[in-house]
Protein backbone atom coordinates (compact mmCIF):
# COMPACT_ATOMS: atom_id res chain seq x y z
CA UNK A 1 0.00 0.00 0.00
CA UNK A 2 3.03 2.17 -0.44
CA UNK A 3 1.80 3.44 -3.76
CA UNK A 4 -1.86 4.19 -3.88
CA UNK A 5 -1.71 5.37 -7.45
CA UNK A 6 1.11 4.59 -9.85
CA UNK A 7 1.89 8.26 -10.50
CA UNK A 8 2.11 9.17 -6.82
CA UNK A 9 5.37 8.96 -4.90
CA UNK A 10 5.38 6.26 -2.26
CA UNK A 11 4.17 7.09 1.23
CA UNK A 12 7.04 6.88 3.68
CA UNK A 13 6.22 9.32 6.45
CA UNK A 14 3.47 9.84 8.98
CA UNK A 15 2.36 12.92 7.05
CA UNK A 16 2.16 11.24 3.66
CA UNK A 17 -1.18 9.50 4.16
CA UNK A 18 -2.78 12.63 5.63
CA UNK A 19 -1.54 14.88 2.83
CA UNK A 20 -2.73 12.40 0.22
CA UNK A 21 -6.14 12.04 1.86
CA UNK A 22 -6.73 15.79 1.61
CA UNK A 23 -5.46 15.79 -1.94
CA UNK A 24 -7.80 12.96 -2.92
CA UNK A 25 -10.68 14.85 -1.37
CA UNK A 26 -9.86 17.95 -3.43
CA UNK A 27 -9.63 15.85 -6.58
CA UNK A 28 -12.91 14.10 -5.77
CA UNK A 29 -14.76 17.39 -5.24
CA UNK A 30 -13.34 18.84 -8.45
CA UNK A 31 -14.13 15.69 -10.43
CA UNK A 32 -17.67 15.52 -9.07
CA UNK A 33 -18.53 19.09 -10.03
CA UNK A 34 -16.75 18.88 -13.38
CA UNK A 35 -18.82 15.84 -14.23
CA UNK A 36 -22.04 17.32 -12.85
CA UNK A 37 -21.62 20.49 -14.90
CA UNK A 38 -20.72 18.61 -18.07
CA UNK A 39 -23.71 16.27 -17.76
CA UNK A 40 -26.16 19.08 -16.98
CA UNK A 41 -24.80 21.11 -19.87
CA UNK A 42 -25.65 18.36 -22.33
CA UNK A 43 -28.95 17.53 -20.63
CA UNK A 44 -30.21 21.13 -20.59
CA UNK A 45 -29.02 21.73 -24.15
CA UNK A 46 -31.21 18.88 -25.27
CA UNK A 47 -34.13 19.52 -22.97
CA UNK A 48 -34.45 23.22 -23.64
CA UNK A 49 -33.51 23.20 -27.30
CA UNK A 50 -35.50 25.44 -29.59
CA UNK A 51 -38.26 23.33 -31.09
CA UNK A 52 -39.67 25.61 -33.77
CA UNK A 53 -38.84 28.80 -35.62
CA UNK A 54 -41.61 30.69 -33.88
CA UNK A 55 -40.79 29.60 -30.32
CA UNK A 56 -40.22 32.41 -27.82
CA UNK A 57 -38.71 31.49 -24.40
CA UNK A 58 -40.58 32.23 -21.19
CA UNK A 59 -39.04 34.92 -18.98
CA UNK A 60 -37.13 33.28 -16.11
CA UNK A 61 -38.24 34.01 -12.57
CA UNK A 62 -35.75 33.67 -9.70
CA UNK A 63 -35.82 30.79 -7.23
CA UNK A 64 -34.89 31.53 -3.65
CA UNK A 65 -34.51 27.84 -2.78
CA UNK A 66 -32.09 27.31 -5.61
CA UNK A 67 -30.02 30.35 -4.71
CA UNK A 68 -29.75 29.31 -1.09
CA UNK A 69 -28.74 25.81 -2.12
CA UNK A 70 -25.97 26.95 -4.43
CA UNK A 71 -24.65 29.30 -1.78
CA UNK A 72 -24.78 27.04 1.25
CA UNK A 73 -23.47 23.84 -0.34
CA UNK A 74 -20.29 25.35 -1.81
CA UNK A 75 -19.74 27.27 1.44
CA UNK A 76 -19.94 24.06 3.45
CA UNK A 77 -17.59 22.26 1.08
CA UNK A 78 -15.03 25.05 1.09
CA UNK A 79 -15.16 25.27 4.89
CA UNK A 80 -14.38 21.55 5.08
CA UNK A 81 -11.40 22.17 2.79
CA UNK A 82 -10.31 25.12 4.88
CA UNK A 83 -10.43 23.46 8.29
CA UNK A 84 -9.01 20.20 7.02
CA UNK A 85 -6.18 22.03 5.25
CA UNK A 86 -5.50 24.32 8.21
CA UNK A 87 -5.33 21.48 10.72
CA UNK A 88 -2.92 19.62 8.46
CA UNK A 89 -0.87 22.77 7.98
CA UNK A 90 -0.59 23.29 11.72
CA UNK A 91 0.36 19.67 12.28
CA UNK A 92 3.05 19.91 9.61
CA UNK A 93 4.47 23.17 10.91
CA UNK A 94 4.72 22.18 14.56
CA UNK A 95 7.46 19.68 15.26
CA UNK A 96 6.47 17.34 18.08
CA UNK A 97 8.33 17.48 21.39
CA UNK A 98 11.34 15.26 21.63
CA UNK A 99 12.13 15.29 17.92
CA UNK A 100 15.69 14.54 16.88
CA UNK A 101 17.44 17.80 16.00
CA UNK A 102 19.33 17.98 12.73
CA UNK A 103 20.79 21.11 11.19
CA UNK A 104 20.95 21.70 7.46
CA UNK A 105 22.56 24.27 5.23
CA UNK A 106 21.58 24.70 1.59
CA UNK A 107 24.09 26.28 -0.72
CA UNK A 108 24.76 26.40 -4.43
CA UNK A 109 24.50 23.51 -5.09
CA UNK A 110 24.45 21.05 -2.26
CA UNK A 111 22.76 20.10 0.97
CA UNK A 112 24.88 19.84 4.06
CA UNK A 113 23.54 18.16 7.18
CA UNK A 114 24.93 18.24 10.69
CA UNK A 115 23.88 15.85 13.40
CA UNK A 116 24.04 17.03 16.99
CA UNK A 117 26.65 14.43 17.83
CA UNK A 118 28.95 15.91 15.23
CA UNK A 119 28.49 13.72 12.15
CA UNK A 120 28.04 15.70 9.01
CA UNK A 121 26.84 14.58 5.63
CA UNK A 122 26.56 16.02 2.16
CA UNK A 123 23.57 15.31 -0.07
CA UNK A 124 22.64 12.41 2.14
CA UNK A 125 20.83 12.33 5.43
CA UNK A 126 20.48 9.32 7.70
CA UNK A 127 17.46 9.26 9.99
CA UNK A 128 15.81 6.58 12.11
CA UNK A 129 12.39 5.20 11.29
CA UNK A 130 9.60 5.86 13.79
CA UNK A 131 11.02 8.99 15.39
CA UNK A 132 10.19 12.57 14.48
CA UNK A 133 13.10 14.54 13.06
CA UNK A 134 13.21 18.31 13.26
CA UNK A 135 15.34 20.14 10.72
CA UNK A 136 16.65 23.62 11.33
CA UNK A 137 17.75 24.97 7.97
CA UNK A 138 19.74 27.93 6.74
CA UNK A 139 20.83 29.07 3.30
CA UNK A 140 24.33 30.26 2.60
CA UNK A 141 23.31 32.15 -0.54
CA UNK A 142 19.96 32.11 -2.36
CA UNK A 143 16.53 30.57 -1.81
CA UNK A 144 16.47 26.78 -1.91
CA UNK A 145 13.67 24.41 -1.01
CA UNK A 146 13.97 21.15 0.88
CA UNK A 147 11.65 18.66 -0.78
CA UNK A 148 11.22 14.95 -0.05
CA UNK A 149 8.26 13.72 -2.10
CA UNK A 150 7.95 10.39 -0.29
CA UNK A 151 7.58 12.28 3.00
CA UNK A 152 5.27 14.95 1.48
CA UNK A 153 7.44 17.61 3.03
CA UNK A 154 8.61 20.77 1.29
CA UNK A 155 10.05 23.82 3.00
CA UNK A 156 11.78 26.85 1.55
CA UNK A 157 15.25 27.51 2.87
CA UNK A 158 15.89 31.24 2.87
CA UNK A 159 18.98 33.38 3.21
CA UNK A 160 18.96 35.53 6.32
CA UNK A 161 16.68 33.40 8.44
CA UNK A 162 16.16 29.89 9.71
CA UNK A 163 13.45 27.56 8.48
CA UNK A 164 12.22 24.49 10.25
CA UNK A 165 10.63 21.34 8.95
CA UNK A 166 9.88 18.00 10.49
CA UNK A 167 8.99 14.51 9.39
CA UNK A 168 8.78 11.02 10.78
CA UNK A 169 9.82 8.26 8.44
CA UNK A 170 7.69 5.16 8.64
CA UNK A 171 9.55 2.68 6.46
CA UNK A 172 13.26 2.00 6.00
CA UNK A 173 14.54 2.92 2.58
CA UNK A 174 16.24 5.52 0.43
CA UNK A 175 14.13 8.47 -0.58
CA UNK A 176 14.84 11.23 -3.07
CA UNK A 177 15.70 14.67 -1.79
CA UNK A 178 15.25 17.57 -4.19
CA UNK A 179 15.84 21.28 -4.21
CA UNK A 180 12.45 22.58 -5.30
CA UNK A 181 13.32 26.22 -5.89
CA UNK A 182 15.30 27.32 -8.94
CA UNK A 183 18.62 28.44 -7.49
CA UNK A 184 21.00 28.77 -10.41
CA UNK A 185 22.81 26.75 -13.04
CA UNK A 186 23.06 23.47 -11.18
CA UNK A 187 19.73 23.66 -9.39
CA UNK A 188 18.71 20.36 -10.98
CA UNK A 189 21.82 18.74 -9.54
CA UNK A 190 21.04 19.86 -6.00
CA UNK A 191 19.64 16.49 -5.09
CA UNK A 192 20.36 13.77 -2.61
CA UNK A 193 18.95 10.94 -0.55
CA UNK A 194 17.27 10.55 2.77
CA UNK A 195 18.21 7.19 4.21
CA UNK A 196 15.62 6.01 6.69
CA UNK A 197 17.04 3.28 8.89
CA UNK A 198 15.92 0.90 11.51
CA UNK A 199 16.58 2.65 14.88
CA UNK A 200 19.18 0.10 15.94
CA UNK A 201 21.04 0.42 12.65
CA UNK A 202 20.81 4.17 12.97
CA UNK A 203 22.52 4.07 16.37
CA UNK A 204 25.26 1.94 14.84
CA UNK A 205 25.57 4.36 11.97
CA UNK A 206 25.81 7.31 14.36
CA UNK A 207 28.51 5.57 16.35
CA UNK A 208 30.48 4.73 13.24
CA UNK A 209 31.19 8.31 12.24
CA UNK A 210 34.50 9.96 12.87
CA UNK A 211 34.51 11.35 16.37
CA UNK A 212 34.91 14.99 15.53
CA UNK A 213 33.13 16.19 18.63
CA UNK A 214 29.56 17.27 18.93
CA UNK A 215 28.00 20.23 17.21
CA UNK A 216 27.94 22.05 20.54
CA UNK A 217 31.69 21.40 20.90
CA UNK A 218 32.30 22.99 17.53
CA UNK A 219 30.12 25.90 18.62
CA UNK A 220 32.11 26.26 21.81
CA UNK A 221 35.36 26.49 19.84
CA UNK A 222 33.89 29.22 17.66
CA UNK A 223 32.61 30.96 20.75
CA UNK A 224 36.12 31.17 22.10
CA UNK A 225 37.74 31.93 18.75
CA UNK A 226 35.55 34.97 18.39
CA UNK A 227 36.12 35.89 22.03
CA UNK A 228 32.41 35.88 22.73
CA UNK A 229 33.16 34.64 26.21
CA UNK A 230 34.89 37.90 27.11
CA UNK A 231 31.52 39.63 27.19
CA UNK A 232 28.99 36.83 27.66
CA UNK A 233 29.95 35.67 31.10
CA UNK A 234 28.16 35.05 34.33
CA UNK A 235 30.13 37.47 36.50
CA UNK A 236 30.02 41.22 37.01
CA UNK A 237 32.37 41.90 34.08
CA UNK A 238 29.71 40.77 31.65
CA UNK A 239 28.93 43.30 28.97
CA UNK A 240 26.50 40.96 27.29
CA UNK A 241 23.71 38.78 28.61
CA UNK A 242 24.59 35.53 30.30
CA UNK A 243 23.67 32.74 27.94
CA UNK A 244 23.45 29.97 30.49
CA UNK A 245 20.00 28.41 30.34
CA UNK A 246 18.86 31.13 27.96
CA UNK A 247 17.45 28.95 25.21
CA UNK A 248 13.68 28.78 25.06
CA UNK A 249 13.24 31.43 27.76
CA UNK A 250 11.52 34.78 27.36
CA UNK A 251 13.87 37.75 27.00
CA UNK A 252 12.99 41.33 27.98
CA UNK A 253 14.15 43.77 25.34
CA UNK A 254 15.23 47.35 25.77
CA UNK A 255 12.18 48.29 23.72
CA UNK A 256 9.96 46.84 26.40
CA UNK A 257 8.90 43.88 24.29
CA UNK A 258 9.46 40.29 25.24
CA UNK A 259 10.68 37.67 22.81
CA UNK A 260 11.45 33.99 23.15
CA UNK A 261 15.07 32.96 22.78
CA UNK A 262 14.55 30.45 19.99
CA UNK A 263 16.87 29.53 17.14
CA UNK A 264 15.76 32.43 14.94
CA UNK A 265 16.27 34.92 17.74
CA UNK A 266 19.76 33.60 18.48
CA UNK A 267 20.67 33.76 14.81
CA UNK A 268 19.42 37.31 14.47
CA UNK A 269 21.29 38.35 17.58
CA UNK A 270 24.54 37.06 16.05
CA UNK A 271 24.17 38.75 12.67
CA UNK A 272 22.24 41.85 13.79
CA UNK A 273 22.91 42.19 17.50
CA UNK A 274 21.14 45.50 17.90
CA UNK A 275 17.92 44.50 16.21
CA UNK A 276 16.60 43.16 19.52
CA UNK A 277 18.72 44.69 22.25
CA UNK A 278 18.28 43.03 25.63
CA UNK A 279 17.08 45.25 28.42
CA UNK A 280 19.91 46.55 30.58
CA UNK A 281 22.69 46.19 28.00
CA UNK A 282 24.46 48.66 25.75
CA UNK A 283 24.48 48.18 21.97
CA UNK A 284 28.15 47.21 21.98
CA UNK A 285 28.16 43.96 20.09
CA UNK A 286 29.43 44.12 16.51
CA UNK A 287 27.67 42.19 13.80
CA UNK A 288 29.07 38.80 12.89
CA UNK A 289 27.39 38.83 9.51
CA UNK A 290 29.87 37.44 7.00
CA UNK A 291 32.38 36.58 9.71
CA UNK A 292 30.73 33.33 10.65
CA UNK A 293 29.30 30.94 8.08
CA UNK A 294 25.73 29.71 8.35
CA UNK A 295 27.15 26.39 9.51
CA UNK A 296 29.12 28.20 12.19
CA UNK A 297 25.99 30.02 13.31
CA UNK A 298 24.15 26.71 13.61
CA UNK A 299 27.05 25.37 15.68
CA UNK A 300 26.91 28.39 17.95
CA UNK A 301 23.17 27.93 18.35
CA UNK A 302 23.70 24.27 19.25
CA UNK A 303 26.28 25.37 21.81
CA UNK A 304 24.00 28.01 23.34
CA UNK A 305 21.20 25.47 23.51
CA UNK A 306 23.51 23.11 25.37
CA UNK A 307 24.39 25.72 28.00
CA UNK A 308 22.57 25.20 31.23
CA UNK A 309 21.00 21.96 30.04
CA UNK A 310 21.25 18.98 32.30
CA UNK A 311 23.94 16.72 30.84
CA UNK A 312 22.84 13.67 28.94
CA UNK A 313 19.65 14.99 27.54
CA UNK A 314 19.63 12.52 24.86
CA UNK A 315 21.21 14.54 22.16
CA UNK A 316 22.62 17.74 23.39
CA UNK A 317 25.64 16.68 25.27
CA UNK A 318 27.06 19.88 26.65
CA UNK A 319 30.75 20.42 26.31
CA UNK A 320 31.94 18.24 29.08
CA UNK A 321 34.28 19.46 31.73
CA UNK A 322 34.87 23.06 30.96
CA UNK A 323 33.17 24.97 33.72
CA UNK A 324 31.08 27.53 31.92
CA UNK A 325 33.75 28.43 29.43
CA UNK A 326 31.80 31.22 28.01
CA UNK A 327 28.50 32.17 26.69
CA UNK A 328 27.84 33.32 23.25
CA UNK A 329 27.06 36.51 21.53
CA UNK A 330 23.68 35.28 21.01
CA UNK A 331 21.63 37.78 22.56
CA UNK A 332 22.01 41.28 22.15
CA UNK A 333 24.25 43.88 23.24
CA UNK A 334 27.55 42.49 24.07
CA UNK A 335 30.69 44.22 23.05
CA UNK A 336 33.72 42.38 21.99
CA UNK A 337 37.10 42.88 23.55
CA UNK A 338 39.11 42.37 20.42
CA UNK A 339 38.20 43.83 17.08
Asked whether position 144 contacts ligand CUA by CB under 6 A, the answer is: yes
| Element of type H or E holding 105 | strand 100-107
Q: Which residues of 147-164 are buried (b: 16+ CB within 10 A; e: fewer)?
A: bbbbbbbebbbbeeebbb
Residue 100: phi, psi to the nearest 5? -70, 135
Give the shortest CB-115-to-ligand CUA separation in angstroms. Answer: 21
Is 138 a binder of ligand CUA (CB under 6 A)?
no
Q: Helices (H) and strands (E) in the chain — how many of each?
A: 6, 12
The only residue of 116, 183, 251, 261 in contact with ligand CUA, by rule CB under 6 A: 183
Of residues 169 and 177, the one with the C-beta less far from ligand CUA = 177
- Cβ closest to ligand CUA, residue 187 vs residue 305: 187
**Collapsed DSSP state (helix, strand, coil) of residue 90:** helix
Is the peptide bond between 109 and the residue preceding it cis, with omega within 30 degrees of 0?
Answer: yes
Rounded to whole angstroms, the Cα distance separating 254 from 256 reads 5
Q: Looking at beta carbons only, is 112 or 305 nearer to ligand CUA?
A: 112
Smallest distance, ligand CUA to C-beta of residue 163, A: 13
CB of 273 to ligand CUA, least distance (A): 29
Closest contact distance (angstroms) between CB of 154 and ligand CUA is 12
In which region does residue 264 sit, left (phi positive, over 0), alpha (psi from -120 to 50) or beta (all else)?
Answer: alpha
x/- contact string, 184-213, with ligand CUA (CB under 6 A)? ---x--x-----------------------
As measured in angstroms, the least distance from the Cβ of 178 to ligand CUA is 8
Closest distance of CB 159 from ligand CUA, Å: 11
Stretch of 20-28, 71-79, 176-184, 331-339 lying at the interface with ligand CUA (CB under 6 A): 176-184
The distance of closest approach from Cβ of residue 259 to ligand CUA in the complex, given in angstroms and rounded to an integer, is 30
> φ and ψ at 93, to 5 degrees?
-100, 0
* Binder among 101, 168, 181, 295 for ligand CUA (CB under 6 A): 181
- Give the one residue of 179, 195, 215, 317 binding ligand CUA; rule: CB under 6 A: 179
DSSP 181: S
Q: Is 157 within 8 Å of 137 (Cβ atoms)?
A: yes
For residue 108, the minimal CB distance to ligand CUA (Å) is 7
Measured from the CB atom, the residue of 137 and 333 that comes closer to ligand CUA is 137
All residues at 6 or more sequence positions from 173 whose CB lies less than 8 Å from its CB, including other chains: 12, 150, 195, 196
Strands 163-168 and 132-139: antiparallel
User: Considering the rule CB under 6 A, would residue 112 count as an interface residue with ligand CUA?
Assistant: no
CA–CA separation, 107 and 88 (whole Å)? 29
Q: How many CA atoms lie within 13 A of 292 on its CB side?
A: 32
Least CB distance to ligand CUA at residue 293 (A): 17
Q: Taking CB under 6 A as the rule, which mask of x and - marks residues 237-276 in contact with ligand CUA?
A: ----------------------------------------
Task: Give the Å distances, CA to CA, from 155 to 30, 145, 162, 252.
Answer: 27, 5, 11, 31
For 321, residues 6+ apart whose C-beta sits below 8 A from its C-beta are none
Residue 144 vs 276, nearer CB to ligand CUA? 144
Measured from the CB atom, is 180 or 285 closer to ligand CUA?
180
- List of residues contacting ligand CUA (CB under 6 A): 106, 109, 144, 179, 181-183, 187, 190
Amino acid sequence: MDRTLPFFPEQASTAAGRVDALYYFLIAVSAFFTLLIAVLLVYFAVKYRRRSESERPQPVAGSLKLEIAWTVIPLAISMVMFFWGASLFFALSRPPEGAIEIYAVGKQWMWKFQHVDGQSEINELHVPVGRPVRLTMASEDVIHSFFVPAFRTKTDVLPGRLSTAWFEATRPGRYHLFCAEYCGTKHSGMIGWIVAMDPVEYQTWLGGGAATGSLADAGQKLFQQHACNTCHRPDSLARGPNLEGLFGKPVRLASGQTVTADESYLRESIVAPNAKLVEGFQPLMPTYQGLISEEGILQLIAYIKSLGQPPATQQQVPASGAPSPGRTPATSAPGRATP
